[in-house]
Amino acid sequence: MIVAAAVVIGLVMGSFGTVLIDRVPQGEQWWTGRSRCESCGATIEWYHNVPVLSWLALRGRCARCGKRISVMYPLVELATAIGFGLVAWLVSPPALAVVLALMVLLAVVLTAIDFQHMRLPSAIVFPAYPIVIAGLVVDALVRHHADWLLRGLAGAGIAFAIYGGIWLVYPPGIGLGDVTLVPLVGFLLAYLGWAQLAVGLLAGPVVGLLLVLVTAKRGLGFAKRRVPYGPAILAGLWVGLMLGPTIADAYLGVVGIA
């Protein structure tokens, strides 16, 4: 029941995520005004705005003008719902589960925006900081691990030093939005462990390289401009969170340290 409830909440939050994806990069206020068709500007009725189901019922077209509605909308809703469900299934501490669910939404929204606009809006990244940190403070106090917060701060500093240094030395190689996002990623990874931090920070560049190779090979148009790196940072976050200790132990075993 908890997982099912999380999936439903994820669908609703995914629908909210599509509003952020549409409005924030354009400088519009996301908290006012009803959703509208991008083609004809018609207001979307509530019964045409049910996550995933409305898109399927309308066959991916506007009820007023018949223009196609991007498949991005149901994909964002589904991805968020699946992520929320997995968090509810795998994570027991309530405060930590809420934080990770927020990071699911943040990852989906920022990935979509970065691919579309090549930027990570501070209007989305900065408000996530106090929410994530507050959630982790609650988790640390409830589980009597205040020292994890100090480790998180150290991880945030390490991540910022690495990416900030790259940005200062070679600004074209990384965006300022990436530099503002990575301390939050480093804080969360290190809060859970040094292995998570090490694997998560190393996985980001690996995913970024794979993204460059795949897009260049398939001719998806990224070869002539910068490839968005935010999705790689966020993918590294989840690799570190889910597989950090396993990968770290395997590596140490191979090199004979463990």
Per-residue model confidence (pLDDT) at position 124 = 95
Q: Are 89 and 100 in contact (CB under 8 A)?
A: no
pLDDT surpassing 50 at residue 142? yes
How confident is the model over 40-45, as a mean pLDDT? 69
DSSP letter (8 states) at residue 119:
-
* Distinct helix (H) and strand (E) counts, the chain: 9, 0
Overall size of the chain counted in residues: 258
Angle (nearest 5°) at CA 36 between 31 and 39:
140
Q: Are 88 and 30 in contact (CB under 8 A)?
A: no
**How confident is the model over 236-251, as pLDDT tens digits?**
999 999 999 999 988 8
Least confident of 105-114, 225-234, 237-246: 225-234
What residue spans define the domains of the chain? 1-90, 117-258
pLDDT surpassing 90 at residue 213? no
Instruction: Kindly give, in sequence order, each residue whose CB lies less than 8 Å from that of residue 109, ignoring residues fewer than 6 positions away.
Output: 17, 20, 21, 76, 124
According to DSSP, the residues that pair with 36 across neighbouring strands are 43
**How confident is the model over 157-173, as pLDDT tens digits?**
999 999 999 999 988 87
Q: Give the pLDDT band (50/70/90) at residue 65.
A: confident
- Please report which helix (H) or strand (E) contains residue 83, including its range: helix 72-90
**Among the listed residues 73, 71, 74, 125, the one whose alpha carbon sits nearest the alpha carbon of residue 102:** 125
Indicate the SS3 state at residue 36: strand
Question: How far is the CA of 71 from the CAs of 40, 56, 218, in angstroms?
Answer: 18, 10, 21
Indicate the SS3 state at residue 68: strand
What tokens were used for 45? 């009725």
Phi/psi at 68 (5° precision): -65, 140
DSSP letter (8 states) at residue 219:
T
Per-residue model confidence (pLDDT) at position 223 = 46
Per-residue model confidence (pLDDT) at position 225 = 55
How much of the chain exceeds pLDDT 90, in percent? 67
